[in-house]
Amino acid sequence: MIERKYIVYEVTKDKKDISIICDCENAETLNTFLSSDVRPFEEWIKSDIDKVLSGEIISKKISGNVCCAEINLKTTKIYDMLIEDDDEYYATCCEVDTKELRQLLDEWCDKVREFKNEYYN
């Protein structure tokens, strides 16, 4: 199981944001995926993962703002597309259990919504 914690931090004097810190191999790639890609594209990313988990499709490759993901029934590999060096690109891949990732997406998105309601409403 991926251990994680949520951190609210100050961006500027009047602006705060929330971040997630996951404890797994190549966690920075996963953290980037959640912040840069899942936040703006929550619904279609969840939908694509659900299609794979339900067996509707065998696998799916998706690309967001920063990361791309290869989703399969058992595992999902997440890569940072901004890394130009091929060796580093593959070395920083974060591989996670697809079911656990789907649960993490729900949790992360709920935390983001809670944060927005608490700080900006």
Compute CA distances 116 → 29, 36, 112, whole Å.
24, 16, 6
The amino acid present at 44, given as its one-letter code, is W
pTM of the model: 0.93
pLDDT at 22: 94
pLDDT along the chain (121 residues), means of 10: 93 92 95 96 97 98 97 98 94 97 98 91 70
Domain positions in the chain are 3-120
pLDDT at 10: 92
Least Cα distance to 34 among 46, 16, 25, 50 occurs for: 46
